[in-house]
Amino acid sequence: MNMPDLFENLRRKKTIIQKARPYLPVFFQLATDEHGAYIRVVDEKGQQADTRPDYYTGPTRQVLKFLSDIRAESNFKIDWEKAADQVYLHENPYIVELLQPCQNFVDARFNKPIRFVEGVAKLVLVIEDQDEILTGRLTIHHQGEEFSDITMLTRAHALSQGLIFRIQPVGEQPTTLKLFETSFSPAQIEKYLSLLFSLFNNVSVRYKDYRVVAGAPKHTQPTLIFEKIDSNNALYLRVTNSLPGFDSDFFEQYDINRISFLNDLDKNIIISEVIPGELYPSFDELEKLLKKYRKSANHGSSYFIEDNLFIIDEQLAKQFVYGELPNLISRYVILGAQRLKPYKLKTVSPSLQLSLSHGLDFLEGDVNLDIEGQTFSLFEVLAQYKKNSYVQLNDGVHAIINPGYLDKLQRLFKKQKEKVRVSFF
């Protein structure tokens, strides 16, 4: 049986003997840039040292060997943003364990050795309110003490005041936590916290006297966004998901898997898992509808698709929105409908106006709807909607009302000659 030669395969490769000063005192200096914390090998004057692991023993040799191996691997990688010779701790967290027994591990100012703290600390994001401006500040809590001016080293290590604390793993992007040390308006706090809890784990939040509690999962809602009508009167219609209280593009711009809501009454920050809806059924439904209307449109009137965006020619777009918008508004969140004005179309939410007298077991009187400042009787609106699926306003604009809302009114109010009656029985 032919077996691989164990001793031959593990033999150390020959190295070129170089004239060098052995055992030159070296230090591992912690430095930072916009990409994170990294290690510089320097001499006692803080100058870059050109050393070989073979000249050293113990922990220093292990760290030098690790750095040499990582840099050798990086020679085969191209990164246009980062310097090739810098070894970042968040990308190579194992080096932190190698540095722990080193007495020559120093800070950026070369003031004193960096020490490791025993035990596991707690990472807390403190949100402070001053003159209606909120500011986030990262802190570490350990054995009753609070430390600030935090530098994230790895997903499980943080630096403060020359001390390295072990923390519960926060996630795969520890250096971006620094971005949350920023100022923002109170109106943005739910968005701010949603980003925090989506990107990171094991980060506590302290905000006034609020408590962080878990909430029920939230399902996103299928959403149609009328983005614009261009100079050729083509309609830009985007299919996406949304949740009440958040910008329409929030879930497209960010990787959100948790959202936060503030309950000011109970003083709770409610964190809920986001369950995204499947977009394909909505996308498929719209495309089938467009194909149906394209058959009756003028020759050449069509639509184009870019990712989840429909670009629809004018004639086809008008037929589509007039024919389907009344049905779509009952099943989709509709955003940007005010941009349909060039098509003389607008979605509206009428105000109900009641003038009723009462009998023994009924109410009777007049019921009107205020639509964009114009007053219509309820049954005039119902008649127009049954015939056209819209209500025509004085300026020629066609008002689209949620048909579910009109169905409820029709069930509640019954025509009694020239009046409206509500019966209790």
Span 281-304, pLDDT tens digits: 999 999 999 999 988 776 678 899
Q: Is the pLDDT of residue 316 over 90?
A: yes
Residue 310 CA from chain centroid, whole number = 24
* Other CB atoms within 10 A of residue 346 CB: 19
Say how far apart CA 389 and CA 385 lie, in whole Å.
Answer: 4
* Backbone CA torsion sign across 365, 371, 374, 378: negative
Q: Is the pLDDT of residue 112 over 60?
A: yes
Comparison of pLDDT for 70 and 79, the residue scoring more: 70
User: Is the CB of residue 309 less than 8 Å from the CB of residue 236?
Assistant: yes
Rg of the chain over all Cα atoms, to the nearest angstrom: 33
Confidence of residue 360 (pLDDT cuts 50, 70, 90): low
Q: Is the pLDDT of residue 21 over 60?
A: no
Confidence of residue 271 (pLDDT cuts 50, 70, 90): very high
Weakest-pLDDT range from 75-84, 96-105, 219-228: 75-84
Once rounded to an integer, what is the mean pLDDT over residues 127-139?
95
Comparison of pLDDT for 422 and 219, the residue scoring more: 219
Q: Which backbone phi and psi does 287 adopt, to 5 degrees?
A: -65, -40
Confidence of residue 374 (pLDDT cuts 50, 70, 90): confident
Report the half-sphere exposure of 43 (CA within 13 A, side-chain side).
10
Which one-letter amino acid corresponds to residue 202? N
Once rounded to an integer, what is the mean pLDDT over residues 191-206?
97
Comparison of pLDDT for 3 and 388, the residue scoring more: 388
Instruction: Find, among 201, 183, 349, 365, the residue nearest to 273 by Cα.
Output: 201
335-to-19, 255, 401, 413 alpha-carbon distances in Å? 72, 21, 14, 30
Once rounded to an integer, what is the mean pLDDT over residues 337-365?
78
Q: Is the pLDDT of residue 23 over 90?
A: no
User: Is the CB of residue 227 less than 8 Å from the CB of residue 339?
Assistant: yes
Once rounded to an integer, what is the mean pLDDT over residues 317-344?
89
- pTM, two decimals, is 0.77
User: Is the CB of residue 166 less than 8 Å from the CB of residue 117?
Assistant: yes
Q: Is the pLDDT of residue 22 over 90?
A: no
Say how far apart CA 154 and CA 96 lie, in whole Å.
Answer: 8
Confidence (pLDDT) at 361: 52
User: Is the CB of residue 340 less than 8 Å from the CB of residue 316?
Assistant: no
| Residues forming beta bridges with residue 166, ordered by sequence position | 120, 157
Once rounded to an integer, what is the mean pLDDT over residues 393-399?
82
Q: Residue 277, exposed/middle/buried by CB under 10 A (0-12, 13-18, 19+)?
A: middle
User: Is the CB of residue 30 less than 8 Å from the CB of residue 20?
Assistant: no
